[in-house]
Structure 1
Amino acid sequence: MRRVLSFSYYNLPSHLKTCLLYLCIYPEDSTIDRDRLIWKWVAEGFVHHGDQGTSLFLLGLNYFNQLVNRSMIQPIYDRLGQVYACRVHDMVLDLICNLSHEAKFVNVLDGTGDSMSFQGNVRRLSLQDRNKDHQGTPLRNFTGISRVRSITIFTSAINIMPALSRFEVLRVLDLSYCNLGKSSSLQLNLKGVGHLVHLRYLGLAGTGIRELPAEIGNLQLLEVLDLKSNELQELPPAVGKLRRLIYLNVYLNKVVPTPGVLQNLTSIEVLMGLLVSVNIIARELGNLARMRLLLIHFKDGSLDLYESFVKSLGNLLHIESLYINCGSGETSFELMDLLGECWMPPVHLRKFVSWMPSQLSALRGWIIRDPSHLSNLFELILSSVKEVQQQDVQIIGGLLSLRLLWIQTTHQTQRLLVIGADGFRRMVEFRLDCGSAAQIKFEPGALPRAEVVAFSLGVRVAKEDGNRGFDLGLQGNLLSLQGRVRVYMYCGGARVGEAKEAEAAVRHTLKARPNHPPVHIEMKPRIAEVLMMTICVRTRRTDF
């Protein structure tokens, strides 16, 4: 087997050999995040431009897929069948670690006594110190640290990290999920980061930092800045000097950018987690014409702010994934109305996620004007839609690339929605919650590939409209179910007996299915609450 693996390795193109060898920085049995790995390849200089218009990340993605296709790495899939990570087989890892050792490509310190030698020219370090009591003597005595180009530190090894001032040509510094916060006993801080003028990748996700030093503006070559899951509240003006920045992630922080910062980051392709509260910041987004992925939070909503955002969105012609959230408690449908009237999604759009009040009139407008603009839409989440009409179901069902749909309505008026057999042919995950005002029925052959399904049932509406047996068309349908079926059963206005009857009918139908999917019926309100409401109503009727 080793000969076969060696043969496969030596048949790789040189750029794929380099990318594969890099995987020995990860400990055995690691789940390796695909995107994070590709950005590291980019920062290391392993990914080379085919032409000036091609995204380095997309080229790196092609490298990753080639390694998967050649069975050199094992892909890990999400629930929609998309690769999000990989693993390296033990035998492949053993091979590349030996090859890396011979070529002095990566040096690993794992604290087990089997660490690779630190003698000679060390270019890349992986600190995996499994022995948490290890005192780090090898690094204190190691004189070649100044020539290290890349260092990746795993959480248990952070205490043997040398001072940043000792590095002179560092391109990659990954401290992700190491404790650098106030509770850390670590003496390391980021005050020396401005010295690392060759740095391309700075990974500080989940480190507990609360602010960035102003000297981060010295990192003129920085391409990737990962700050997610920290306690940051602002991006200092110095970040605006990072004109080569391609990736900026401040997700799960409460970061408000200083006005003027974004307008200079014209190389940005991925921007995640910014909190937008003023028009000037929304307008600056329009300068980021290379954007492929945007995740944005609105602190509160105003028509002027939304107009500025939609106008900027019109300049982002390469957008593939758009996530919009609003922290305001007010119900306003203005943004989606503006999107429907003033913005036409580019044909590249694959994901559209809105966690704020929205209208489906926008979607209708896009389809009517040019259906091809949504031909690649893969994921659609609208968490607070005013209502869904049968026309909307037919329109969405006709989106041939759609794999995930999640819609929740707030003011439903149409009492019956039918999921036909001619739509949603490739849907993998289907969630439609129309509250208490509607029932959802499935025609024979509906959702042929759906593995996860969630839908609502208004018990009172079903009874009033003659569906006394609560037949939702589930018999003989949904043959690909693998995950849990979730039913949101709205019992408001129904009697306790009707609620129990509806639950029993739906559960019986689903339990009889050949694939026996797990069933979760969520009563809203619960039976006990329905019983209490019934008693209260009867009491009021007899109360003189």
Structure 2
Amino acid sequence: MTTSGNSLTGISSDRSNNTKVKTCKTHGIMHEFMLHKSMSDNFITSLRDQNRSKFRHLFIQNPASGSTLGLNHQHTSTASDNVSGSEKFRARSLTIFGNVEESASEFCRFELLRVLDLQECNDLEDGHLKDIHKLWHLKYVSLGGTINNLPRNIEKLHCLETLDLRKTKIDILPYEVIGLPHLAHLLGKFKLGKKDLKMSELEKLLPKKCKLKTLAGFVADENAGFLQLMAHMNELKKVKIWCEPTGADSKSLPHISKAVQKFAQDGMDTTGVRSLSLDFGNSMGDFLGSIQEYCYLSSLKLRGRLSVLPQFVTSLCGLTELCLSSTNLVGNDLSNLSKLRYLLYLKLVEADLRSFVIKNGDFPSLRRLCLVVHSPVLPTIGKGALPYLVSLQLLCKDLADLSGIKIEYHDCLEEVALDSMVSTKAVEMWETAAKKHPKRPKVLFLKRIDPSEAQSSVKYVAADGPIPTKGSSIEFSQVQLTQNMLQNECIIRSVQSSSVNKPNSALKKIIVSEPHQTASELSSAGNGAMPPSLRSISTETGYTF
């Protein structure tokens, strides 16, 4: 992910590996204008607003959180007291977050709902979902970390296209979910269950024309049900698999190889994005060596130990994105990646780069290079190599200098991203090198976010600047203080300029997501404003608020 923008008045954005903008947020006066515009056009408001029945998008926030997000600040009753049983709503989406008590089950009153976002609701219980089947218009549902099980009657949501279970505690997926006729995106980490079904019975679970495009993802254990069903999911574009073999001779490994090979070979007759992510954790991924060549993938992520680089990887002529994490590959194996002549993005995580040499002519199409390492020893990049590189991410908190990287070799370079924990000396050296570069690339900073699960990969998010450490210069601290004062002044002025309904000043961000092509009903209102606690929905699912 690359983040760019002005910290005071500009627009900052998060981009995917292919540079496509995923989300963006505005600042200052522009934020206040968009907020007022969205409310005056009846786009979004709190459920506590007296005129709520006119709005297409509603949200409920914890009434005890200290900030009233409704338009009418004098209206402080709870949402459940505020909603009349006879009141008709035209809302198409509802977001609930925080500890909202009785309000957690209010979504059952909204008969026209298409989008139900409960991912940040902290007191939602399994029992609150017992009537969810009555909202048969639903196309998008996301649930939070307090949910342990799905109701069996979810099979009645025939219009459901996206089911996001990534934050839930659900590890066994009900068979009924697989049979939803319009389900296109299934997100989470789950198993199909221990029930022993024959293949003929499993096939009956799938609709005649399975529309599933995203299966990210499932755990492949001794039950090979998901792996066998993959062969009948002809529209799959994105798959994520966690391998959990029960032993060195696990019976699931051949099924994994077979399913992966069929998924990759089916891509030979298609175009566009085709993504595969494999996480084999503490196991060896040498079973990938049995996958034959002549496959097509546009994106591949491998996490886990490899003794050698699987041969099918270098045969993926259409591969544009590659991520290798904790694979233990060194030297020649990494150098063999240069055969991927159409690769646009390469990410190496926790790799030993001492013997990795990138020569002139290697990776001729590469645009973005991301290295996440513990050691400040970086690969050797020869003069003339990576001629089209536009983004260089060197995420190592122990980086003390330029580590032999000569950015003047890369004429097209636009940005350099560093770990926010790097020393002040390193920051000064990179900023000086950037100023001397003909294109004066931006020096950005990303903050490390440690995963909640032990086996999950580390993630980085945007940071406003380097985090000062002991020994930082006084001048640097003064600059940061000045920027904070200016930013606070900008926020205060924008709040003072608010007119008529005066939305709460805690609304600091607006998230604008790209609408999905098939979600015309949801995207008809355009890109609107929303409170900060309303998260942006991944563009892979295509829904926005």
Q: Does 1:452 align with 2:400?
A: no
Counterpart in the other structure of 1:428: 368
Q: 2:287 aligns with which of 334, 340, 343?
A: 334
How far apart are 1:306 and its partner, in Å?
A: 2.6
**Amino acid aligned to 1:322:** L
Take 1:363 and 1:240, find their aligned partners in 2: how far apart are those partners? 30
Which structure is higher in helix share?
1
Q: How many residues align?
A: 388
Matched-pair contact (CA < 8 Å) for 1:380–1:406:
yes
CA positional deviation for 1:87: 3.4
Is 1:399 aligned to residue 399 of structure 2? no
Give me the whole-angstrom Cα distance separating, in 2, the residues matched to 1:313 and 1:427. 27
In 1: Cα distance, 2:123 partner to 2:97 partner: 13
Within 1, Cα distance between the matches of 2:445 and 2:45?
48
Aligned to 2:274: 320
Aligned equivalents of 1:194, 1:407: Cα separation in 2: 43
* Partner Cα distance (1:474, 1:454) in 2: 16
SS at match of 2:417: coil
For the residues of structure 2 that align with 1:432 and 1:87, how far apart are their CA atoms?
A: 26
1:360 partner letter: L
- Number of the residue aligned with 2:15: 78
Say whether the 8 Å CA contact 2:173–2:192 is kept in structure 1: yes
Deviations 1:410-464 (A, max 9, x none): 8x9xx8442124334644333287999x984222244453421369x9xxxxxxx
Which residue in 2 is equivalent to 1:127? 60
Structure 2 counterpart of 1:378, from 310, 321, 324? 321
5+ residue gaps, structure 2, are 1-9, 70-75, 436-442, 447-545
Report how far residue 155 of structure 1 moved: 3.0
Q: Report 1:83-482 matches (<5 A).
A: 83-87=21-25, 89-100=31-42, 106=43, 108-109=45-46, 111=48, 115=49, 117-118=51-52, 124-128=57-61, 130-131=67-68, 134-136=77-79, 139-141=82-84, 143-145=86-88, 148-155=91-98, 157=100, 159-180=102-123, 189-204=128-143, 206-251=144-189, 256=193, 264=206, 266-277=210-221, 278-300=223-245, 302-314=252-264, 316-317=266-267, 320-327=274-281, 329-335=282-288, 337-339=289-291, 341-342=292-293, 344-346=295-297, 349=298, 351-358=299-306, 359-363=308-312, 365-366=314-315, 371=317, 373-374=318-319, 377-389=320-332, 393=335, 395-396=337-338, 399-406=341-348, 416-424=355-363, 426-431=366-371, 440-447=379-386, 448-453=389-394, 474=406, 480=413, 482=416
| TM-score of the two chains, using structure 1 as the length reference | 0.59
Find the aligned partners of 2:417 and 2:366 in 1 and give their Cα distance: 16
Deviation at 1:472, TM superposition (A): 5.0
Residues 293 and 312 in structure 2, CA contact (< 8 A), matched pair in contact too: no
| 8 Å CA contact retained: 2:323, 2:347 | yes
3-state SS of the aligned residue for 2:290?
helix
Q: How far 1:478 sits from its partner (Å)?
A: 6.6
- Taking a change above 3 Å as real, the CA distance of residues 179 and 445 of structure 1, as seen in their structure-2 partners, is same
Inter-partner Cα distance in structure 1 for 2:84 and 2:427: 70
Larger radius of gyration: 1
CA spacing shift, 1:378–1:90, aligned 2, 3 Å: farther
- Residues in 1 aligned to 2:86 and 2:263: alpha-carbon distance in whole angstroms: 51
CA distance in 2, matches of 1:321, 1:155: 34
CA distance in 1: counterparts of 2:403 and 2:141, whole angstroms: 56
Instruction: Give the drift of 1:247.
Output: 1.1
SS of alignment partner, residue 384 of structure 1: coil
Distance 1:107 1:508 in 2: 42
Q: Cα distance 1:219–1:478, how it changes in 2: closer, same or farther (>3 A)?
A: same
Once residues 508 and 109 of structure 1 are traced to their aligned partners in structure 2, the CA distance between those partners, rounded to angstroms, is: 44
C-alpha deviations, 1:138-160, integer Å up to 9, x for none?
Answer: 63325224765432323365643
Indicate the SS of the match to 1:177. strand
Taking structure 1 as reference, are residues 244 and 137 closer, same or farther at Cα in structure 2, changes over 3 Å only?
Answer: closer
| C-alpha RMSD over aligned residues | 4.5
The TM-score, its normalising length taken from structure 2, stands at 0.59
- The secondary structure found in structure 2 opposite 1:189 is helix
Name the aligned partner's letter for residue 451 of structure 1.
Answer: L
Counterpart Cα distance in 2 of 1:247 and 1:153: 21
* Equivalent residues of 1:257, 1:274 under 8 A apart: no
Alpha carbons 1:140, 1:162 under 8 Å: kept: no
Alpha-carbon displacement from aligned partner over 1:350-395 (angstroms, at most 9, x marks no partner) = x21011234424256515xxx3x23xx13433531544417x5365
Q: Distance in 2 between matches of 1:109 and 1:511?
A: 46
* 2:418 is the alignment partner of 1:484: yes
Q: Is the 8 A contact 2:331 2:355 kept in 1?
A: no
Cα distance in 1 for partners of 2:58, 2:362 equals 52
- Aligned partners of 1:107 and 1:473: how far apart in 2? 49
Distance in 2, Cα, partners of 1:418 & 1:405: 15
Aligned residue type for 1:423: D
Does the 8 Å contact 2:174/2:192 carry over to 1? no
Compute the displacement of 1:332 (Å).
Answer: 4.1
Distance of 2:390 and 2:224 partners within structure 1: 44
> Of the two structures, which has the highest relative contact order with CA contacts closer than 8 Å and spacing of 6 or more?
2
Q: Assess, with a 3 A threshold, how the Cα gap between structure 1 residues 417 and 364 changes in structure 2: closer, same or farther.
A: same
Distance 1:110 1:303, change over 3 A: closer
8 Å contact 2:184–2:214 — kept in the other structure?
yes
Q: Is the CA contact (8 Å cut-off) linking 1:267 and 1:290 kept in structure 2?
A: yes
Q: 1:271 to 1:398 in 2, by over 3 A?
A: closer
How far is 1:325 from its partner? Answer: 0.8
| Rounded Cα–Cα distance in structure 1 between residues aligned with 2:55 and 2:445 | 56
Q: Structure 1's 443 and 215: CA in aligned 2 closer, same or farther, altered over 3 A?
A: same
Q: Give the percent of matched residue pairs that are identical in Structure 1 and Structure 2.
A: 18
